[in-house]
A and B are shown apart, each in its own frame.
Chain A
């Protein structure tokens, strides 16, 4: 599509949408959001890009093959589960630690966040795999 309005709008929207998706991912454990919806937002951003500039340009801008993203996502999920396994607890046990941020207080980080990041990656990978291939069709 060669709509000038869309082309310009995407350039502005993309960074915002991507930042929003990370925002959703990080806050998801306590507030509405999470890896799944965050991943969907990021994937929508890339889908928009692909519609406006074409799948080839989107692939080049993304730099990573969406299939690789799926693999990386599933690998991250497995890794987050394996942390529990290595420490002698059942697979996928959630382990937590406090990250001291000085003046900003302590931030609880744990393997569930890693798990959510894996979901985030695989959702992006799945959606983009399908959308890119349909767009190229």
Chain B
């Protein structure tokens, strides 16, 4: 069962995540690198799948009534991403054991890293959209924890929260879109939905579903205007940035766009929405990267730009552009992952990440320098690196679509070259003596591995052609050609022009940086996010202060008025007040009882003594119980008598030590309370009258009367209902009573402990 194996591979990630903390605690931080065996083994497994059959999808029911199945598919697209996730995961796991040294939090770190990996594998291997959503949210949560890994730092917490709020808000949109898609298509299985493409696109729910899914993908993949969380997330440790925020998690949105493109694409909204967002993000990210001085933020903005490039290519939707997107995704994961790891190494070895200060690190850190240089060359788009192939394919796709798109791609490529030079060449050039040291092997080896893959795949594209071709085919572009040399053509010209212009830009880097930093906005979408967050918190605080004043009588007034409002509004709006037609024939006895109730109520209000008021309230209750008795409900009456007695007792006990309340309320407060009480009483009266004049359904009491003796062996129908017919309700009520008693106990005992 290949699907079972796929499910097991994801499960293995979660199991490893659970075991990692204990493993690290038992065998020490140096042994932590061995946890990399899990992602490495998974990568080998996915590689073996990539070489064999093209696609499998099997279903294990989870919650079939919801359309939620554990169904997995391993086609080219899913396997490509799974390989990236597990492969980069293995490298990052080894790297982290060196990066963190003997940090005591290492076990926790590995646990969450593996949780993320398993969830990300779930995202790219799920065939069920609901299942995909579940994994999608797990990646958001693990990203939150990992960004806020240094949780004692306030800005780490704020950045983590920002990323969480943005991606989870997008996740909520995605869920809405998924549900709408499932409604329109009658299934949540992606493979089934793809087969029903025509019907879904014609469905009236298609447009809202499309927009919601796009918002979900854009937030996750940091597209404008949601891009701001990604640079903020750079407070995370370098391995996290390399793994989650460049190679894997931010690619989840790209994956979703590639996966659902054949289903949702081919219309103007898709082309303009996806393509437009990608175009803006590409240019904006490239421009904002120019002004950065922090190595990691520089790389982050260029990641935003690269994600924009992928989104743009997917939005164009031509076979050439989709093929370029797939190749570019792969190349980017390899070189950007390597560069982020290298940034961590540079920080580790030189103690700073400021690109204006860094320099001369080649001599002390030659191995890191070599790996970083290779990755930077791939990023700059130099042949024979995979990044070069990807860039040329992107240029070709742009030229095939229109000159404007090609120009934007070139502008993006220029930005990539600049960032590659600043991050991959700048820190190592020159001979400035720097007090730096080489990082341990497990750190530079990671950079080498990723950068080396980029070079090998560029030299021998045939090795990956099968998988990348299958991935492009799954995204809707069959027959992709992958070759190193594209021949002399306009794309090559543009490529050479980019290199030349990029070199010029780098030569002027100090002035470029200054001008770009000056032009970059201070109050972008991030300010809107902060205003929204601050406003929400302020409103919540205000509401809480207003509602929870700490005065019992205010609580009572609020509760009673809410009840009156909720009950009266539908009554007046939809029902209208219909008085019962037959008048009641009031007998003398009932009038007498009513008079007692009124008198006792008046006494309770007017009484200046606490005990007197309580006793008067008890009299009201007793009189009401008498009415029950007269109408033939002895059980109810008896319970009411007992409850009234106990209530009086409780009141007396509770109020025994209170001061005399009558002197505490002002006249205004008493008038207000009286109005509220009259409103509530009036509402209940109207409700009772309306309810008696209304008969919507046949009453169930006849059924109880018929069956009580025969089936429940009881002649007291009230009791039979309580203990048999409605036994579950009684169980619930008894539980509530118990909880209430515990609550009272806790309130009073806790209060006692106060000095």
Question: Given the complex, which residues of A lie within 8 Å of B737, measured CB to CB?
Answer: 70, 122-123, 126
Binds A, one of B126-134, B276-284, B576-584, B642-650: B642-650
Report the Cα distance A113→B720, complex, angstroms: 10
Complex CA–CA separation, A34 to B724 (angstroms): 12
Give the CA-CA distance A74 to B728 in the complex, in Å.
Answer: 12
Q: Are A131 and B650 in contact (CB under 8 A)?
A: yes
In the assembled complex, the Cα of A109 lies from the Cα of B396 at a distance in Å of: 87
A104-137: contact bitstring with B at CB < 8 Å (1 yes, 0 no)? 0000101011011011001101110111011101
Contacts of B724 in A (CB 8 A): 94, 112, 115
Q: In the bound complex, what is the Cα–Cα distance between A134 and B731 (angstroms)?
A: 26
In the complex, A96 Cα to B653 Cα: how many Å? 43
Residues 706-755 (chain B) with a chain A CB within 8 angstroms: 712-716, 718-720, 722-724, 727-728, 730-731, 734-735, 737-738, 740-742, 744-745, 748-749, 752
B639 CB within 8 Å of chain A: yes
CB distance from A120 to the nearest CB of B (A): 10
A77 to B635 CA separation, bound complex (whole angstroms): 21
Residues of chain A within 8 A of B719, CB atoms compared: 28-29, 33-34, 116
Assembled-state Cα–Cα distance A70/B733 (Å): 12
Say how far B341's CB is from chain A's closest CB, in angstroms.
Answer: 57
How far is B373's CA from A85's CA once the two chains are assembled, in angstroms?
70
Q: Does A2 contact B (CB under 8 A)?
A: no
Q: Say whether, besides A126-B737, A137-B748, A35 and B713 are in contact (CB < 8 Å).
A: no
CA distance A28 to B724 in the complex (A): 13
Query: Do the beta carbons of A129 and B649 come within 8 Å of each other?
Result: no
Of B634, B649, B722, B740, which contacts A126 at CB under 8 A? B740
- Say yes or no for A13: interface residue by CB 8 A criterion: no
Q: How large is the interface on A (under 10, 10 to 19, 20 to 34, 35 or more residues)?
A: 35 or more
Tell me which residues across on chain A come within 8 A of B740, comparing CB atoms: 126
> Of B642, B713, B745, which contacts A133 at CB under 8 A?
B745
Whether the pair A30, B716 counts as a contact (CB closer than 8 A) is yes
Residues 618-647 of chain B, each 1 if its beta carbon lies under 8 Å from chain A, else 0: 000000000000000011001100110110
Please measure, in the bound complex, the distance between the C-alpha atom of A81 and the C-alpha atom of B729, giving whole angstroms. 12
The residues of A that contact B714 with a CB separation of less than 8 Å are 29-30, 112
- Contact of A40 with B639 at beta-carbon distance under 8 Å, contacts A35-B723, A81-B731, A131-B653 already known: yes
Q: Mark A57-94, 1 if CB is under 8 A from B, else 0.
A: 00000000011001101100110010000000001101
Q: Which of B634, B653, B748 contacts A32 (CB 8 A)?
A: B634
Closest chain B residue, CB of each to CB of A135: B653
Which residue from A36, A51, A81, A134 sits with its C-beta under 8 Å from B639?
A36
Tell whether A37 is near chain B: CB-to-CB under 8 Å. yes
A43 at the binding interface (Cβ < 8 Å): yes
In this complex, how many residues of chain B approach chain A with their Cβ under 8 Å: the count is 40
Instruction: Determine the distance from Cα of A36 to Cα of B636 in the docked complex, in whole angstroms.
Output: 11
Cβ of A47 under 8 Å from chain B: yes
Beta-carbon nearest neighbor of A112 in chain B: B723
- Identify the closest chain B residue to A92 (Cβ): B727
Take A29-B713, A94-B712, A126-B740 as given contacts and tell me if A34 and B635 are in contact as well, using a CB distance cutoff of 8 Å.
yes
A41 at interface by CB-CB < 8 Å: yes
The verdict on B591 contacting chain A, using a C-beta distance below 8 Å, is no
Is there contact, CB below 8 Å, between B734 and A119? yes
B748 neighbours in A (Cβ, 8 Å): 133-134, 137
Q: A6–B602 Cα gap in the complex (Å)?
A: 31
Q: Which residues of A contact B715 (CB under 8 A)?
A: 29-31
The smallest C-beta distance from A36 to any residue of chain B, in angstroms, reads 6
Residue in A36, A40, A115 whose CB lies within 8 Å of B727: A115
B716 touches A34 (CB 8 A): yes
Does A127 lie within 8 Å of B646, measured CB to CB? yes
| Contact between B723 and A74, CB atoms less than 8 A apart | no
Q: How far is it, in angstroms, between the C-alpha of A67 and the C-alpha of B738 when the chains are bound?
A: 8
Check A130–B741 contact: CB distance below 8 A.
yes
Q: Can you show 20 pairs from A to B with CB atoms below 8 A apart?
A: A29-B714, A29-B715, A29-B719, A31-B715, A33-B635, A35-B722, A37-B635, A37-B638, A44-B646, A71-B738, A77-B734, A92-B728, A92-B731, A96-B713, A110-B713, A112-B712, A115-B730, A116-B722, A119-B734, A133-B748
Known contacts A112-B724, A119-B734, A133-B748, then 19 further A-B pairs from the complex at CB < 8 Å, ordered by chain A residue: A34-B716, A37-B635, A40-B643, A70-B738, A77-B730, A115-B724, A122-B737, A125-B741, A126-B738, A126-B740, A129-B744, A130-B650, A131-B650, A133-B745, A133-B749, A134-B650, A134-B653, A134-B748, A137-B657
Chain A residues near B (Cβ < 8 Å):
28-37, 40-41, 43-44, 47, 51, 66-67, 70-71, 73-74, 77-78, 81, 91-92, 94, 96, 108, 110, 112-113, 115-116, 118-119, 122-123, 125-127, 129-131, 133-135, 137
